[in-house]
Structure 1
């Protein structure tokens, strides 16, 4: 695929169509994935301290949504690179970088500033009068609204999860760091004909993998979706074999989820929740999703688009919701939650606030973003 990426047998942009229905499906999946991540974190913030019955399932549901983000990204970046090659007769790294920066930076910079603002306000608004939350005898997603300047610096340069931890006050940024390096590696693949690009690709991939082996695993899944965007690859695929592979990895994911619940409830007895199984669960789910996306593209499966407009603020929602949830937790501590009904009400209101905020801010941060760019 890499050797042939510059010799695509296409004559115009119309030869790289994304069917309207398929585009709407992608938009819907992107928006709904962001909302699922929001639900997962809101559940951990407001429901889990009261009732942990579905805690394990909801955590894995959030992880699955992030993997859907990676799959959508891989497929769409592959499509975007092909359009770039077609329109410029060679790969324009400047255009590619400009598109990626325009997509990533405005919401990301805003999210960091927003997080810092809420951090400054926390001692004046939290029930504890500090950055700490009330201590309660149950699991919480965080014990304080806090971060370190090392974490902030690492996030600014997208080396969190490699050289520094991810921001304590904005956990979802772990995947954004991965995403940016996926873009870098994809750009180098697009310049495969150049020796320096091949060398840089190998060096960068080795360094990142040595720093964080999980990155290599997730990049493999992202690369699968990237490959599926190429007609040369799709023509060589065995449809029936893919269905079998999809079932196998789907069963693996289910077994891992069952063991994860067993570990949480029986082994750890609801005292702690470990993330050691994520690196096994996530790639299994990612492969299932990648094949599902290919099946949607080839119209072998159907998916009715739902709330397509949510894609317009999905990225802003993803990078801003976590600090908002933490702030609400500090202002309205768990001692205020006298029943599971009130906790569900808090979850609903908090999710609504996060969505409304992202919808409003995205008008300024994501005004011209389309799913296929």
Structure 2
């Protein structure tokens, strides 16, 4: 995406960055504080803190919609020049540039945890954290699991690697990246070079169906959430009346907040039976449609614009490296002695959160910002093979 297009969607950059911080804050809060039901202070500010730091899973649904918008939209935008090989290189370089060092980092942190708090690896903290190892039998840092995570087979054929529970969503993303181009080729929306015959479309459709049948039900069921990003792409910037834009944003914000509340209510899930993840995806989709109607900021160098783009830039790195550190912090400094929320504990939370953000920034500067260089290097390796074929 060009810098001009990135500038146009600075509002989405802000949402993506905030969502990554929300996931991080959610895991950190679980490792440090008692649940809201056990909280001694349940006033407005305490309730607000628990509400804002309890939306980690919902933030992942936001990521799915944004991914569908940016990645799926790029396929449709370049449909006449779509090259599967170039697309694969772009996606793999983008994923691997952080994933490979993040897996190595996870192994190092897990080695420390194994020495200072081995009970983490046997699942003793799962009831408190709701993430990380579930039991000794489900924890795996073997070479087979490492290879499976590098090939995005976690939660399908292998566990997630080590303590890095959030890696589950990366497998979702990868297979959605594979499924969508197969679907649009099967439908004739995209015709790759050298694949214009009817049997190419049939083959693409057959492979897509086989992948959907192979994926775990919960992963296949979340694919429509990713596809909601295409609804956003189809409507981006096409609403002209100012009042209609305002109505879209206000109604989208109201629906998104309502679906967040719905997603946290087990009673309503049982009463209405509508999938909460899909509800959050639909709510954010409408909000996202409204946000893409906004004009880009007049000044691209405005502080909040640069902050939004900067926060978005390292969001992937933050997502991949934060949880092993949270597990280490939680086990070593707090154990099962969860704290009540007060000024002192909130200060500790803020300082730890800054440390985690710093780790995300460091990984961005060391690895993620070199995505283009990795893609070019991979292309130089692959090009001779492709040309020979």
**TM interval, short-chain normalised:** 0.7 to 0.9
- Structure 1 residue 97 corresponds to structure 2 residue 88: yes
Q: CA deviation at 1:243?
A: 8.8
Are the equivalent residues in 2 in contact too, given 1:292–1:301 (CA < 8 A)?
no
- Structure 1 residue 226 corresponds to structure 2 residue 221: no
Partners of 2:261 and 2:72 in 1: how far apart? Answer: 29
1:180-210 alpha-carbon deviations (Å, 9 max, x no partner) = 0111122324534443354334433454355
Structure-1-length-normalised TM-score: 0.73
Q: 1:356 aligns with which of 351, 355, 358?
A: 358
| Residues 220-369 of structure 1: pairs in structure 2 closer than 5 A | 220-230=224-234, 251=258, 254-259=261-266, 280-299=275-294, 307-334=308-335, 340-341=341-342, 342-367=344-369
Partners of 2:118 and 2:249 in 1: how far apart? Answer: 56
- The 1:33/1:143 distance shift into structure 2, 3 A limit, reads closer
Q: 1:141 aligns with which of 127, 130, 147?
A: 130
Partners of 1:189 and 1:368 in 2: how far apart? Answer: 31
- Select between 89-98 and 47-56 the one with higher mean Cα deviation: 47-56
Aligned equivalent of 2:9:
23
Partners of 1:180 and 1:137 in 2: how far apart? Answer: 26
- Structure 1 residue 109 corresponds to structure 2 residue 100: yes
- Select between 128-137 and 89-98 the one with higher mean Cα deviation: 128-137
Q: 1:80 aligns with which of 51, 66, 74?
A: 74
Tell me the SS of whatever aligns to 2:169. helix
Partners of 2:125 and 2:319 in 1: how far apart? Answer: 27
Partners of 1:174 and 1:288 in 2: how far apart? Answer: 23
| Residues 137-176 of structure 1: pairs in structure 2 closer than 5 A | 139-141=128-130, 147-148=139-140, 149=142, 151-167=145-161, 169-176=163-170
- Select between 239-248 and 34-43 the one with higher mean Cα deviation: 239-248
- The 1:291/1:17 distance shift into structure 2, 3 A limit, reads farther
Aligned length: 335
Aligned equivalent of 2:34:
48
Partners of 1:110 and 1:39 in 2: how far apart? Answer: 22
Q: CA deviation at 1:119?
A: 1.5
Structure-2-length-normalised TM-score: 0.71
Structure 2 stretches lacking a partner, 5+ long: 40-46, 298-303, 376-389
- The 1:176/1:135 distance shift into structure 2, 3 A limit, reads closer
Partners of 1:301 and 1:163 in 2: how far apart? Answer: 43
Partners of 2:323 and 2:105 in 1: how far apart? Answer: 11
Are the equivalent residues in 1 in contact too, given 2:22–2:52 (CA < 8 A)?
no
Tell me the SS of whatever aligns to 1:172. helix
